[in-house]
Structure 1
């Protein structure tokens, strides 16, 4: 574990793997260290943000020395029920994924929907969760030519990750289907349906 300065009020912890990043994120949130106002997990990092306005200035050197000694939980997965995301599997890239993997369309759908996923971290756009747990047989590269606009609700895969586009945006992931479940809603508290550690299941449904 390597701790680096990130400006005058934050530390960036390089954990080396996503599982340790999850566990450190959980440990920091449980510790509720005075002056720490946000903890932002990444793929192999955790950003620890402090705010002097909330009280006495945090001694970043002391905080940096403390972080490697925090007791990490054995399992940082969210203990709540998985978020179920209904999916109509009619994506533009479904046939291509079947060809690339040597599987039938039905087998691609079955393997995608049968897996248990966990949100590794959020990034790219608000509410976009990178989901781990994708069946290795479905690990395919991103498209060589990204689309300029991917519709909101598109269910996609790329490399070892699965995801759902929370809003219309450019993207190069392979599209397997679509969902009407809103992942990002500014009127909701919090706006994002997903957060690091959230468990996710995809539920196939028929096209209306």
Structure 2
């Protein structure tokens, strides 16, 4: 298998994972969205769930010959055109630093940038929502400036509060609920991302965008 070919692996007997080749970027992610829409029309597929650079495909029942489905996925991937989902743009007010951003100093130390520079760079883009996962309502975002990329923490945080705005490697994200994390938290927002009384319960969907608005900086 060459580096330019997709990779397919079984997840038990009820699903498989399709991994796209190449770098993680918006064009690749849009092709993943397109592939998901195509695969969900196939009778043997129960659900097609986009991830970051990958697609989880669950079966209505375990196929007798997996090769037929994997070949079909590979052909559909080659034909897939980027799907430009026209989502909504959400503005999230963020207070950077202070108790709500306990790892800002670590990002400063790694990037050699000032707090003001990090905040300005972090709050500039419109971040596209690539996929949902990790925990209910959480969204994987693309588009972070590589100047503020910071390695994940060697020792994870046991309980990160919901609304924590963090950097992990080349990505940024917002915790939708309390839970463990290995990312570097630089701020906090009060936005609510998941509500079981709504349909759909997750506030954000693939194709939506997030803009971080500076509500304050605590040094």
TM-score class, shorter: 0.7 to 0.9
In 2, distance between residues paired with 1:164 and 1:48? 26
Figure out how many residues of one structure are paired with residues of the other and give that number: 203
Q: Report the equivalent of 1:28.
A: 36
Deviation, 1:66, is 1.5
Label 1:172 to 1:205 Cα distance change in 2 as closer, same or farther (>3 A). Answer: same
In 1, are the aligned partners of 2:166 and 2:184 still within 8 Å (CA)? yes
Question: 1:36-55 counterparts in 2 under 5 A?
Answer: 36-52=45-61
In 2, distance between residues paired with 1:11 and 1:148? 30
Unaligned runs of 5+ in 2: 1-5
In 2, distance between residues paired with 1:5 and 1:161? 27
In 1, distance between residues paired with 2:45 and 2:104? 44
1:121 aligns with 2:127: no
CA deviations on 1:140-179 (whole Å, 9 max, x unpaired) are 1122332221111011111001010111112221111111
Unaligned runs of 5+ in 1: none
Match of 1:3 among 8, 12, 19: 8
Partner of 2:204, secondary structure, is: coil
Normalising by the residue count of structure 2, what TM-score does the alignment of the two structures yield? 0.80
Match of 1:157 among 164, 167, 170: 167
1:92 aligns with 2:102: yes
In 2, distance between residues paired with 1:84 and 1:101? 26
In 1, distance between residues paired with 2:156 and 2:72? 43
In 1, distance between residues paired with 2:65 and 2:33? 20
RMSD: 2.5
Normalising by the residue count of structure 1, what TM-score does the alignment of the two structures yield? 0.84
Q: Report the equivalent of 2:86.
A: 79
